[in-house]
Amino acid sequence: MNLTEVHGGSLSNEANASDNVTLAILNMQGPMNKTVNILTVLNLFITMISLGCTMEIFKIKAYLFKPKGVAIALLSQFCIMPITAFSLAKILQMEPIKAVTVLICGCCPGGTLSNIFSLVVKGDMNLSIVMTTCSNIAALGLMPLLLYVFSQGFTGLENAVPYAGILTTLAFTLVPCAFGIAINHFKPNAAVIVKKVGLSILIISSIIICTLSFHIVKNVIWMILMPDALIAASLMPLIGFTLGYVMSVLCRLSPQCSRTISMETGCQNIQLCVAILKVAFPLEVIGPMFLFPLLYITFQCAEVFLFALGFRCYQRVKPPAEDTEKQEDQIVDPQDKEAKRP
């Protein structure tokens, strides 16, 4: 099936089974789908505000002046994951709509879950938060570019990727992120409240989205559980974690930074991916594939759990030497310096 034809509204009926699936998708309830769209955008908005509230301007400046860690992390994020997604889509011979879904997921920037994962594996939290912020900003230019480059390798995808919708969604993420940074800079006490309230709303809205989404696609949910989708969703984060760590070690970063970049590379911004798939594609086109990010995050969390368990076991057997940080690489708040002066 050619995705360009799908956007034009001409769905090819090759077999009775595909006819039944198409009819099931086209009969999805409009109001419920609109509710999911609104909640998905709200979810992304809250996530980016909360991310901004964790960011401090002096930390951004410190890493911009010594950008080695961030540069390697961004290179890993926007090289390893898109190439992995493209390779898996080609090897598994995915249909156009599946291929574009996997590509979009692979080209997404790092997600906020990576900050939690970095904490679990005792990574560099400053680098983690700065990298998440920088990758989401860089995605405004890099994500459409990467999608354009890699979509050329699939017949029917050259002109089918909804760049306008993707750019709109990406631009939408920068405003709340900047707003969150401003809140944390001028009203740090308010930022703590915003993060707590945001987390509560995020949990509630995520539960509602998952429940409504399952109800909408319950008749065709089996399509997302096909072998090719399962293989892609399981291998993408695994490859990202592994190659992210290997690349950091080859660049002679500390073990702490290497673990951080590993988490940042394999963890994608799932909220952004879901929002793009829901906003940029009509439901009758994307169908149950908009649930692919949820499949991805399931494997992502399971693999991080196994990595963290293995890391903690290794620490118990052979306690590693503490990561030594050079004095010039340490990030110190300028206000703290002033406070320490007599």
* DSSP single-letter state for residue 237: H
Taken in order of first residue, the domains within the chain and their CATH numbers are 32-315 (1.20.1530.20)
Report whether pLDDT(33) > 70.
Answer: no
> Tokens in use for 34?
């609109």
Q: What pLDDT is stored for residue 284 in this prediction?
A: 74
**What are the Cα distances from residue 285, in Å, to 23, 232, 267?**
12, 20, 26
> Who wins on pLDDT, 311 or 340?
311
CB-hemisphere CA count at 13 Å for 10? 4
Report whether pLDDT(162) > 90.
Answer: no
Q: What pLDDT is stored for residue 237 in this prediction?
A: 93
**H/E stretch holding 131:** helix 125-151
Q: What pLDDT is stored for residue 175 in this prediction?
A: 82
Q: What pLDDT is stored for residue 167 in this prediction?
A: 77
Query: How far is residue 297 CA from its own chain's centroid?
Result: 9
Whole-angstrom distance, CA of residue 119 vs CA of residue 129: 11
Q: What pLDDT is stored for residue 144 in this prediction?
A: 87
- Report the percentage of the chain scoring pLDDT > 90: 14
Q: What pLDDT is stored for residue 55 in this prediction?
A: 74
Q: What pLDDT is stored for residue 103 in this prediction?
A: 92
Report whether pLDDT(319) > 70.
Answer: no
Q: What pLDDT is stored for residue 283 in this prediction?
A: 72
- pTM of the entire structure? 0.74
Q: For 239-284, what is each residue's pLDDT tens digit?
A: 999 999 999 999 888 888 899 899 989 888 887 888 888 777 777 7
Q: Locate tokens 């707003």: which residue?
A: 179
Please, which residues have CB within 8 angstroms of residue 131's CB and are 6 or more apart in sequence? 69, 70, 73, 74, 77, 110, 114, 260, 261, 264
The CA-based angle 326-332-333, given to 5 degrees, is 170
> Tokens in use for 36?
């999911």
Whole-angstrom distance, CA of residue 277 vs CA of residue 147: 14
Whole-angstrom distance between the N-terminal and C-terminal Cα of the chain? 73
Q: For 106-152, what is each residue's pLDDT tens digit?
A: 998 887 778 778 878 888 877 887 888 788 888 888 888 898 888 88
